[in-house]
Amino acid sequence: MSALTAILAATLLGQSYYTPEEAQELFSQANEAYSREDYVTAREGYEKLISHGQGGPDVLYNLGTTYLAQGELGRAMLALERAWKQGGRAPDLEANLALARAQQKDKVEGTVVEEDFLTRVVKATPGERVGWLFLGSWVAGFGLLLLFRFLTPGHRSWAAVLAVLALIVALPAGALLSAHVWVARTLREAVVLPKVMEVREFPKEGAKAPFQIHEGLKVRVLEEAGRYVRIRLPNGLEGWAEREGVAEI
């Protein structure tokens, strides 16, 4: 590696990383800016944290709230939905999601397509916690089985019981974790960002656009074709929209 390459690499690494202290300081500064209604500064702070890999549910929630205060409904919904997807379950998050949905212009008519049972279960359970539950119970179970070998016969019963209980917990946790992985790979949800967006019958610029959708609406992405994606609305209506107009959660 040349000296110039090394310098550039070090510079890029330095720009893409915050220490915990730096991240907390920036988070506090952004929060203070929001409290005095300086939404531009607050937004910049939260976006910096996200771009530097510090975008947890709290940061995403605050960013979504800031977008909401600025009247950017699409980006607000995107940030809040991402906070929910990452395990955010605070009452304030639920309240702001409900507030943002109430402001959406699209009141989807028709019978709402009900999601399958597996998808509903996955959405109701935070994936990170499920992963830690599976890992913890699995390690604990086999650790206790290993310990069982070294205990005297009179002290083995408690280790055996705990090991069985841990492995019993690990089985459904593992199944639920597998469901999370499967849904994450197959279910692609997105939020509409523009104020208004045409939905066309075919992935062509001149194709007929039988209806429009508006910012903040959550849709499902089914497939891609060039600069277009085929989307499905909550009521099952489908069409093609420009890829840049929808951002995946």
Q: What are the Cα distances from residue 23, in Å, to 29, 81, 128, 192?
A: 10, 22, 21, 30
| 195-206 confidence digits (pLDDT tens) | 999 999 999 989
Distance from C-alpha of 217 to C-alpha of 211, rounded to nearest angstrom: 14
DSSP 137-206: HHHHHHHHHHHHHHS-GGGHHHHHHHHHHHHHHHHHHHHHHHHHHHHHHH--EEEE-SSEEEEBSSSSTT
Burial class for 130, CB neighbours closer than 10 Å (0-12, 13-18, 19+): buried
| 156-188 confidence digits (pLDDT tens) | 888 899 999 999 999 999 999 999 999 888 899
What pTM does this model have? 0.75
Backbone angles phi, psi at 220, to 5 degrees: -110, 130
Q: Name residue 172's amino acid.
A: P
| 149-163 confidence digits (pLDDT tens) | 888 887 888 889 999
* pLDDT value of residue 106: 85
For residue 9, pLDDT beyond 70? no
246 band by pLDDT with thresholds 50, 70 and 90: very high
Residue 29: closest CA among 51, 5, 62: 62
